[in-house]
Amino acid sequence: MIVASVFCRSCGYDLRGLATTGSCPECGLEVRETLTHLVDPAASRLPKLNDPRGVGDGLLGLAVTATLVTLVLVLPSALRLLGAVGLAQSTARHIDPGTAALIASGISFVGLWWARLVARGPAESPRTVAHRDLRRMFVGLGSWTLVLAACGLGMLEKPGPLVEAALVVLPMPFAIVGLLGLRGVLDLVGLRSRAYRTARSGRQSVDGLVAALAAGAIGLGLAVIGLRLDRGWLETVGHAVALASILLFLIGLLYLVVNCWWIRSSLRSPPPRLSDLVAPSASTR
């Protein structure tokens, strides 16, 4: 029997006091259908998180941080490209890549605080899997931040297109390690969001982000080889591959922000558990 105010999914009638096997007196919709829509049984069966609000905020913060870091890193190249076609002023197109890398590393350092919020959550979930992914995420993000800062200093010490391309590639493996850890966390926490769990389109795969990063690293590597061997066509192909990959990576990050917003909304306002709405009827006690 329903012991709390549960409003019919179809007409809004209060179903309190009705049997779960019955139907709405107003529209005839089965009570069970309203309960299934309201409760989300798949999420209700999952272990509780220690700090669901913090986990949701942390995931969204990580996604936004990754997007901002990527935008800052590509800004110098984007402005140079716009300046080449006359769409940017000469003063704006000379932002130093080393400075951009240092700014990006500072933003990435803030991401460690968001990751700490995420780490509070999975205490009641399988510890071996959850904590392995969290460690991987922390190691990847922390190493990425340090290597990116070192690369930024290297670009300031010895500027040049060859050094710039080489130093951009160096932090990428650590970013991939962090993304692989984030993938495990998303798989664990994302199940609590019906919108994320059932999305047929708009759900971003972390594997796709990793593939885009790897393709970008390969493209920059080809550009470096072309520059060293004085092969203009190879350098052009490498830059084209890198540009396309970075664009896909940015689009994927924007989708990831939306996905994390879904998860955050579900964690901040979780569906009620069936035990809070239904009690055994007197005849079955």
Least confident of 115-129, 130-144, 185-199, 271-285: 271-285
Instruction: Specify the length of the chain in residues.
Output: 285
Least confident of 40-44, 77-81, 90-94: 90-94
Per-residue DSSP letter, 283: G
Residues 22-74 have pLDDT tens digits of 888 888 888 888 887 777 766 666 777 788 888 899 999 999 999 999 898 88
In a domain, 283, yes or no: no
Residue 70 is encoded by which pair of tokens?
A: 């990527």
pTM of the predicted protein model: 0.79
In a domain, 156, yes or no: yes
In this predicted structure, what is the pLDDT of residue 152?
Answer: 85
In a domain, 93, yes or no: yes
Residue 221 is encoded by which pair of tokens?
A: 């590597």
Nearest to 59 by CA among 157, 169, 188: 188
CA triple 185-39-45, angle to 5 deg: 45
Average pLDDT estimate for 181-197: 83
Q: What percent of the chain has pLDDT over 90?
A: 21
In a domain, 2, yes or no: no
> Which residues on neighbouring strands pair with residue 7, listed in sequence order?
14
Domain that holds residue 201: 52-268
3-state secondary structure (DSSP) of residue 10: coil
In this predicted structure, what is the pLDDT of residue 285?
Answer: 46
Ordered alpha helix ranges (H), the chain: 31-39, 41-44, 52-84, 97-119, 127-157, 161-169, 172-189, 194-198, 206-228, 232-268, 274-277
Least confident of 56-65, 72-81, 173-182, 244-253: 72-81
What total of structural domains would you count in the chain?
Answer: 1
Q: How far apart (Å, rounded) are the C-alpha atoms in residues 194 and 41?
A: 10
Q: How confident is the model at residue 257 (pLDDT cuts 50, 70, 90)?
A: very high
Q: How far apart (Å, rounded) are the C-alpha atoms in residues 8 and 27?
A: 9
Average pLDDT estimate for 63-87: 77
In a domain, 28, yes or no: no
Least confident of 10-19, 40-49, 213-222, 250-259: 40-49
Residues 190-248 have pLDDT tens digits of 888 877 877 777 788 899 999 998 998 888 888 878 878 888 888 888 888 888 998 99
b vs e for 229-256, b when ≥16 Cβ sit within 10 Å of the residue's Cβ?
A: eeeeebbeebbebbbebbebbbebbebb
Average pLDDT, the chain: 81
In a domain, 85, yes or no: yes
In this predicted structure, what is the pLDDT of residue 66?
Answer: 92
Q: How far apart (Å, rounded) are the C-alpha atoms in residues 165 and 226?
A: 12
Region of 12 on the Ramachandran plot (φ > 0 left; ψ -120 to 50 alpha; else beta): left
Average pLDDT estimate for 103-123: 86
Q: How far apart (Å, rounded) are the C-alpha atoms in residues 249 and 81?
A: 19
In this predicted structure, what is the pLDDT of residue 26?
Answer: 87
Q: How far apart (Å, rounded) are the C-alpha atoms in residues 5 and 16?
A: 5
Q: How far apart (Å, rounded) are the C-alpha atoms in residues 277 and 272?
A: 8
Asked if 102 and 149 touch (Cβ cutoff 8 Å), the reply is: yes
In a domain, 211, yes or no: yes
In a domain, 204, yes or no: yes
> Which residues on neighbouring strands pair with residue 269, listed in sequence order?
none
In this predicted structure, what is the pLDDT of residue 162?
Answer: 66
3-state secondary structure (DSSP) of residue 191: helix
